Amino acid sequence: MTISDAFTYEAGTVPLLVSIPHAGTKLTAAVEDGLSDAARPLPDTDWHIPRLYDFARAMGAHILTGNYSRMVIDLNRPPDDQPLYATATTGLYPDTLFDGTPTFKPGATPDAAERKRYLEQIWRPYHLELQQRLSAIKARHEYALLFDAHSIASVIPRLFDGTLPDLNLGTNEGKSCPPSLSDALAEFCRQQPFSSVINGRFKGGYITRAYGQPHARQYAVQLELAQCNYMSEQAPFDYLPERAGQLQQALRSLLATLLAWGARPH
C-alpha cells in the first residue's frame, strides 16, 4: 500500500519556513503491531508542537509538518543512518526509545523491505517538499529562513546530564547561519525569562545540517524545547495552556527576531 500522506504543508507569505518533523503520530500497520508496551504511548513524540506554534500562521510563516511517528522513521536523521552525535542518540529507524527501552517487541521489528518503503514514501517526500518550498521562498524573497521546531522531556539521563535548559538553540556550531544571526539569537536569549543555551547538547539534527546553507542564502536554526514549560511530561502528555502561554510569547519573539534579521541587508 502506497503512503500518500507523509506531511501537511500550509503556505505562508514571509521568507520563513517552520519545519515540524517529530509531532506526527500516524503508524504503519507493521510498526503498530510490533511496538513494545513502553513505546505504544509514543513517549518520544514532540507533543503539541503544531498547537504551540499556531501563532506562526498569523505571522505569515510557511509550516511543514510530518504526519508519521518517528517510531516509523525519523525525518531528522540522514538517509544513510550515520550517527549525528558521538553521545547516545537514536537512529533513522529507532530501535530504542530515548531512555534505552526497546521500541519493538522481540522479533517484531519491521523488516528491511518495509523500512525501505518508509524511506521512499515518508522520508523522501518530506525532504523533497522541504527543499522545494525553501527554493520557492528564495525565488520570491532572495533568501530563506528555516526554523526546525522540536521538544523533548527535560530529564533523560541516557541522553544528557541533569535537567535540560528551557531553550536549546542549534546552528550546527555556527555552520547553518552567519555569525550575525547567532549574535541576534544570543541577544534574544538574554532577554528571556527562560534558561537557554546555543549549540549545547542539541546542535541541530540532519535538517539543520543539510539545509543550513549560508553560501546559498538559506539559513537554518533548530530549537529543542524542554517540554516541562508547556505540557505534562508524563502520559497522557497533556497540554498545559497557562504554562504554554508564556513560552509562546518567547517563541513569537524568537520568530520575529529571525524575520527582522532576514530583512536587514547582509
Identify any residues that bridge with 168 across adjacent strands, giving them in sequence order.
197, 224
Q: How many CB atoms lie within 10 A of CB 81?
A: 12
pLDDT average, residue stretch 106-113: 96
What are the respective helix, strand and coil percentages of the chain, to the nearest 5? 35, 20, 50
Under 8 Å between Cβ of 138 and 129: no
Name the band, by pLDDT with cuts 50, 70 and 90, for residue 3: confident
198 vs 200: CA distance, rounded Å: 6
Q: How is residue 101 written as a grid cell? A: 527501552
Under 8 Å between Cβ of 156 and 168: no
pLDDT digits (tens, 9 = 90+) for 45-102: 999 999 999 999 999 999 999 999 999 999 999 999 787 665 656 789 999 999 999 9
pLDDT digits (tens, 9 = 90+) for 149-201: 999 999 898 888 889 999 999 999 999 999 999 999 999 999 999 999 999 98
Helix pair angle (241-263, 179-190), 10° resolution: 150
Instruction: Name residue, grid cell 556550531.
Output: 173
Instruction: Name residue, grid cell 507523509.
Output: 6
Domains of the chain, each with CATH number or no CATH: 7-263 (3.40.630.40)
The fraction of the chain above a pLDDT of 70, given in percent, is: 97
171 vs 220: CA distance, rounded Å: 7
121 vs 119: CA distance, rounded Å: 6
Mean residue pLDDT of the chain comes to 95
Name the band, by pLDDT with cuts 50, 70 and 90, for residue 1: low
pLDDT digits (tens, 9 = 90+) for 63-72: 999 999 999 9
